[in-house]
Structure 1
Amino acid sequence: MTADETARIEQACARLIARYANLNDAGDWDAVAALYAPDGRMARPTAPDAWIVGRDAIRAAFLARPARITRHLCANIVVDVLDADTAVAESAVALFVADAPVRVGGFHDRLVRIGDHWLFAERRGYLTF
């Protein structure tokens, strides 16, 4: 794999992470769930060992939450390309919720290319404070 190919993958994966935050803040749960591979799984930062598996279950988990106004700020995104179709990433996140304390944590991601799209195979959140 060339340096340019690696850089394109890193950029696509970093964009996926940022897009996830923006769609989450917009409350577009269909679009958020579509960012996962069909059998993808996620664990929220508040429950890092409670896996939610599959797009339908992920969408349902977001719909089950009370509506809230949020802003996720992602930083320190580092993507490691494993091969042409897989990568891992780590990112930091600060979560601002209206009328609540700021939460700081991050995500460990496993990303896969399916067709022309990079998707989350696994997204595991954690809280630092």
Structure 2
Amino acid sequence: MTEEQRRGIEQDCARLVALYANLNDAGRWADVAALYAPDGRMARPTAPDEWTEGRDAILAAFLARPARTTQHVCSNVVIDVLSDSEATGESAMLLFTGEGAPKVGSFHDRFVRIEAGWRFAERRGSLTF
């Protein structure tokens, strides 16, 4: 793999991290779920050991959430390319909601390239405070 190809994968995966936050804040749940591979899985920062598996189940979990206004700020995004079809990543997250103190946490991601492009194979959040 060339440096240019590696950088392209890093950019594609970092874009997923940012797009996830933007779509989540916009309440576009079908679009958020579409960022996962069909068999992808997620664990929310508030429950990092409770997995929701499969794109349909992920969409159902988002649709079941009570409505709220949020603003996610993601930074310190580092993507490690494992191959031309796999990568991992870590990012810091700051979540603002209309109530309470901001939450600080992180995401640990596994990415896969499928026919539709790069998607989350696994997205695991955790809260620092």
Same fold (TM over 0.5): yes
Residue type at the aligned position of 1:114:
I
Segments ≥4 residues shifted beyond 4 Å? none
The TM-score with structure 1 as length reference comes to 0.98
Residues 71-94 of structure 1: per-residue CA shift (max 9 Å, x gap): 000000000000000000000000
The TM-score with structure 2 as length reference comes to 0.98
Q: Return 5+ residue gaps in structure 2 as ranges.
A: none
Whole-angstrom distance in 2 between the partners of 1:33 and 1:15: 15
Q: Kindly report the root-mean-square deviation, in angstroms, between the aligned alpha carbons of the 2 structures.
A: 0.6
Q: CA deviation at 1:116?
A: 4.8
Local SS of the residue matching 1:83: coil
1:36 aligns with 2:42: no
Q: Return 5+ residue gaps in structure 1 as ranges.
A: none
Q: CA deviation at 1:101?
A: 1.3
Aligned length: 129
Whole-angstrom distance in 1 between the partners of 2:39 and 2:109: 14
Instruction: Tell me the residue number matched to 2:101.
Output: 101
Whole-angstrom distance in 2 between the partners of 1:97 and 1:116: 32
Instruction: Tell me the residue number matched to 1:53.
Output: 53
Q: Percent identity?
A: 66
Local SS of the residue matching 2:45: coil
1:84 aligns with 2:120: no
